[in-house]
A and B are shown apart, each in its own frame.
Chain A
């Protein structure tokens, strides 16, 4: 569906939208699995827009930092995304940003049955799941 290179750019992109702190980043909390399932289903129509944005992100990252987006480090990734959100680069990525943020949140905060949020980690993070409420795997 996506090439390995596109996949690593997508991972870096999603981890900018929901970064790690003492709770996992988007990708670590199943957003990648959520997206793969959605791209094969109801978000199939979004795949071209994602592909264009990923290519655009990489091209801009190479132009600015001489390095693909996935490899240029979280500070530079964030710097680039802030510039994009401000309308200073990558118009296709900017257009995608609200939808991508929503997709990241859907994978991160929705039920594990949708492919993301394994072990309901985000539910424990926000307090939706009370301590001791997960049955043993």
Chain B
């Protein structure tokens, strides 16, 4: 049946995407030795691998997932990165990769369709394959949270070992080399000296109009959220067609700038980078002196062979905050009985993501015009300086919500879940509902952590991640305060009724997972130095959000990428 509504744009989607061609090619055999092995082809690993290859190093980029091609029909609304009821669209394979959720009284084995698994995509491009692509720089104060606010009892709040200024040139590289659309004219805290963005911002859509009016009446300054998406053709890729399957799905026209479409192809073009998909690193291998010599790799899904060791002068781990910690903990030897980099017991601690208080408001008139991707107006007024709480959040309207997600998450509490009243509500109000939300900076807790489970193993026999603990109560307090600001914005924008509520105390990781191998100056309280080099190891680096000391009150991907540029440049020059 020809129900491919995206094809109404009149564009040949198959010709525009081209990703399946790479997946069809016969894999190149994995060699016995490389200059560098990078584990994980996501935001951090994709960038480091490219920079290493461009600097002349023979590099192997290992990815346990595979290539993900866009669905010309738009996608599966029940199996995607935003609603994983019966499966996921960007990995991992479900039954092969369990985790243990130990946040409740009885630990339970969970699959990636369970929220407690804390899924991020596992594929070429990692989360950037399906992300919403908001491209925020962290605020200068986000790097010095302990100095700004003090350290709450029981928390592990700390300053970063680098400043905003150390990262600023790398932020700029991401913005120009991958491509960000935005407007720096109102970018209060980083505007001066900034080169600006290479592409104009996304337009203000129907939902942005009342929100702009509301913000103006409150005296709040706003700006369009910067996006790692093409508003005009850029980097040889297409402009966004404003479809409604954006966050949670691969872009059907290749207008979303993830590492799969930018840095990895750039690295492959050097001829020095090899990408191995379907390959699982079991452990990082060390010699009798405890020094890293390579990895033990399961390439069964890659070429049909089995466990083998691959040597390298340098190993970079970028598997995401949960899997990076798991891999280090699984890399045990007599010299490192508790895992690599874990002499002080910090690997896996301080797991954090973002709390997302969200409020919805009902407008008199429809404000939904179907123009994707959706977020078009934001304020950074509440990232800091909120009385009585620590930190804060950027606030903006959200991505276009699929109807089934609206049914599950968008209805006011007093609307019945079935019957004619439920249907009437869906009919009349899907296009009249505004949503304001924002990523609250979590106050880290050392007890929110990734450990190895003693009994549950994955399909390859490797002990799985066991997630336990909760964020710090201060996070809940900040989230409640930020939720009030969401409501205030909606009220000022003309919402006749408002619903939703701030989240309660729990553990968060998911797509914004961070913090499990934090960087710092003191090996007694951190896992790596300020260049991601694991303390005590000259040739072992980490290059993902595991390093984040705190996770900012913003979507973190631009910071992951900027850090990868900084670390990749440093490692390539060694």
- B244 near A109 with CB under 8 A, answer no
- B419 near A128 with CB under 8 A, answer no
Segment at the interface with A among B71-79, B157-165, B512-520, B528-536: B71-79
- Contact flags B393-410 to A (C-beta < 8 A → 1, else 0): 000000000111011100
Partner of B403, one of A78, A112, A128: A128
Smallest CB gap from A22: residue in B: B427
Asked if A97 is at the interface of the complex by the 8 Å CB criterion, the answer is: yes
Asked if B500 is at the interface of the complex by the 8 Å CB criterion, the answer is: no
Asked if A133 is at the interface of the complex by the 8 Å CB criterion, the answer is: yes
Segment at the interface with A among B1-9, B279-287, B301-309: B1-9
Complex Cα spacing A100 to B417, Å:
10
Complex Cα spacing A32 to B258, Å:
39
- A102 near B420 with CB under 8 A, answer no
Contacts of B407 in A (CB 8 A): 105, 109
- A134 near B5 with CB under 8 A, answer yes
Given contacts A111-B77, A136-B2, contact A18 B422 (CB under 8 A): yes
Segment at the interface with B among A1-9, A55-63, A65-73, A118-126: A118-126
Main secondary structure, interface of A, reads helix
- CB within 8 Å of A: which B399-453 residues: 402-404, 406-408, 417-420, 422-424, 426-427, 430-431
Asked if B366 is at the interface of the complex by the 8 Å CB criterion, the answer is: yes
- CB within 8 Å of A: which B452-509 residues: none
Contacts of A86 in B (CB 8 A): none
- A137 near B427 with CB under 8 A, answer no
Asked if B85 is at the interface of the complex by the 8 Å CB criterion, the answer is: yes
- A111 near B420 with CB under 8 A, answer no
- Closest CB in chain B relative to A20 CB, distance in Å: 9
Contacts of B7 in A (CB 8 A): 135
- Contact flags A82-119 to B (C-beta < 8 A → 1, else 0): 00000000000000011011101110011111100001
Asked if B570 is at the interface of the complex by the 8 Å CB criterion, the answer is: no
Partner of A110, one of B4, B404, B426: B404
Partner of A111, one of B74, B85, B423, B427: B74
Main secondary structure, interface of B, reads loop
Complex Cα spacing A81 to B370, Å:
36
Asked if B220 is at the interface of the complex by the 8 Å CB criterion, the answer is: no
- A111 near B5 with CB under 8 A, answer no
- Contact flags B540-558 to A (C-beta < 8 A → 1, else 0): 0000000000000000000
Asked if A10 is at the interface of the complex by the 8 Å CB criterion, the answer is: no
Partner of A137, one of B2, B86, B87, B431: B2
Partner of A125, one of B77, B78, B404, B427: B427
Asked if A49 is at the interface of the complex by the 8 Å CB criterion, the answer is: no
- Closest CB in chain B relative to A46 CB, distance in Å: 12
Given contacts A109-B404, A134-B5, contact A78 B77 (CB under 8 A): no
- Closest CB in chain B relative to A114 CB, distance in Å: 6
Complex Cα spacing A104 to B407, Å:
11
- B423 near A21 with CB under 8 A, answer yes
- A114 near B78 with CB under 8 A, answer yes
- B76 near A114 with CB under 8 A, answer yes
- A112 near B430 with CB under 8 A, answer no
Given contacts A97-B418, A101-B418, A128-B430, contact A119 B3 (CB under 8 A): yes
- A135 near B5 with CB under 8 A, answer yes
Complex Cα spacing A83 to B177, Å:
62
Given contacts A98-B417, A134-B3, contact A113 B76 (CB under 8 A): yes
- A126 near B431 with CB under 8 A, answer yes
- CB within 8 Å of A: which B350-371 residues: 366, 368, 370
- CB within 8 Å of B: which A22-76 residues: 23, 38, 41-42
Contacts of B5 in A (CB 8 A): 120, 129, 133-135
Smallest CB gap from B405: residue in A: A109
Complex Cα spacing A110 to B8, Å:
20
Partner of A112, one of B1, B420, B426: B1
Asked if A12 is at the interface of the complex by the 8 Å CB criterion, the answer is: no
Complex Cα spacing A123 to B5, Å:
12
- Closest CB in chain A relative to B416 CB, distance in Å: 9
- B366 near A18 with CB under 8 A, answer no
Complex Cα spacing A133 to B424, Å:
23
- B422 near A135 with CB under 8 A, answer no
Complex Cα spacing A112 to B368, Å:
22
- Closest CB in chain B relative to A92 CB, distance in Å: 17
Contacts of A23 in B (CB 8 A): 423, 427
Contacts of A114 in B (CB 8 A): 76-78
Partner of B426, one of A126, A129, A135: A126
Smallest CB gap from A133: residue in B: B5
- Closest CB in chain B relative to A41 CB, distance in Å: 8
Complex Cα spacing A84 to B1, Å:
40
Smallest CB gap from B85: residue in A: A106
Smallest CB gap from A34: residue in B: B78
Q: Which residues of A are at the interface with B, using a C-beta cutoff of 8 A? A: 16-19, 21, 23, 38, 41-42, 78, 81, 97-98, 100-102, 104-106, 109-114, 119-120, 122-123, 125-130, 133-137
- What would 5 more interface pairs be, CB under 8 Å, given A42-B86, A104-B418, A130-B370? A19-B423, A23-B427, A42-B87, A126-B427, A134-B5
